[in-house]
């Protein structure tokens, strides 16, 4: 007799297969960088830090920030591993997610190190097609998105030592692509003409899975490159990208505290 596995029930109330986390080991809010080596960067903002697990591309640390228990888990690159991370984190108790990472700008005048808050994502990926109708929107939680923008604006307004901040905060629609090296000049030009603010590789899966599972999700990224201005921190001042990551993390943490996620 054939027994078909129901993956919607697999691993419930157990240690998760991919992320290596069990119920009770994490909190209700998770920050999601792509790179596992940026999880310790989030931990620098936390106290009483514990490394919970590191399996495959998924590294998890927990700690406290302004009285809030925070989880940081890396998703790896792309929508497939992001969807797995969100599904499994939800099964161990996470109810709100904030992606913090890097993204390439698609409009002129956006500089490396600027902060980009997502208002929604153009789904140019294959993973979300397995979850939802092609017309289903990939949109973040509204209240969380507003809190991220407000927190980032507050950081930009504060600057350092009372001076004006050297980064801008922008919000708009972004795109999630699957194939980093298949982004042709023609595709970049098309996204630019649509007014798409930036492109990355994870948010469409994050937003769609979160909506379907009745979870909250948002995204704030640091600009790493501008694909229409020809600028890249990977080629120039990597210090600005690090500062951008730090500011995006701080804004995400402040938003989590403000909403008591």
Predicted confidence band of residue 165 (pLDDT cuts 50, 70, 90): confident
Residue 242 has pLDDT above 60, yes or no: yes
Q: Mean pLDDT over residues 65-79, rounded?
A: 98
Q: Which residue has the tokens 């140019």?
A: 124
* Exposure string over 142-155, b if 16+ CB within 10 A, otherwise e: eebbbbbbbbbbeb
Cβ neighbours around 132 below 10 Å, total? 15
pLDDT at res. 232: 66
For domain 29-259, the CATH superfamily is Nucleoside phosphorylase domain (3.40.50.1580)
pLDDT at res. 205: 98
User: How long is the chain?
Assistant: 261
pLDDT digits (tens, 9 = 90+) for 74-128: 999 999 999 999 999 999 999 999 999 999 999 999 998 999 999 999 999 999 9
Tokens at residue 256, please? 């989590």
85 near 18, Cβ under 8 Å?
yes
pLDDT at res. 65: 98
pTM for the full model?
0.95
**Rounded to whole angstroms, how far apart are CA atoms 41 and 164?**
24
Mean pLDDT score of the chain = 94
pLDDT at res. 235: 56
- Domain segments of the chain: what residues? 29-259
Residue 161 has pLDDT above 60, yes or no: no
pLDDT digits (tens, 9 = 90+) for 201-221: 999 999 999 999 999 999 999
């Amino acid at each position: 007799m054939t027994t078909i596995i129901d993956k919607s029930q697999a691993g419930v109330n157990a240690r998760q297969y991919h992320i290596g986390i069990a119920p009770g080991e994490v909190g209700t809010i998770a920050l999601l960088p792509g790179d596992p080596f940026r999880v310790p960067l989030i931990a620098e903002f936390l106290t009483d830090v514990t490394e919970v697990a590191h399996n495959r591309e998924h590294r998890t640390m927990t700690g406290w920030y302004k009285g809030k228990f925070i989880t940081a888990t890396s998703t790896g690159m792309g929508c497939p591993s992001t969807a797995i991370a969100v599904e499994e984190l939800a099964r161990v108790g996470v109810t709100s997610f904030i992606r913090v990472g890097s993204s390439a700008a698609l409009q002129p005048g956006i500089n490396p190190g600027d902060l980009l808050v997502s208002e929604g994502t153009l789904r140019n990926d294959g993973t979300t097609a397995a979850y939802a109708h092609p017309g289903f929107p990939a949109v973040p939680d509204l209240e969380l998105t507003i809190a991220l923008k407000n927190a980032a604006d507050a950081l930009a307004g504060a600057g350092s030592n009372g001076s004006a901040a050297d980064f801008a905060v922008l919000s708009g629609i972004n795109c999630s692509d699957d194939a980093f090296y298949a982004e042709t000049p023609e595709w970049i030009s098309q996204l630019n003409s649509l007014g798409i603010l930036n492109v990355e590789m994870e948010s469409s899966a994050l937003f769609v899975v979160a909506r379907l599972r009745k979870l909250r999700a948002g995204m704030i990224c640091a600009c790493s490159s501008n694909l229409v201005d020809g600028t890249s921190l990977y080629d120039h001042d990597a210090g600005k990208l690090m500062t951008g990551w730090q500011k995006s993390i701080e804004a995400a943490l402040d938003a989590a505290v403000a909403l008591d996620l």
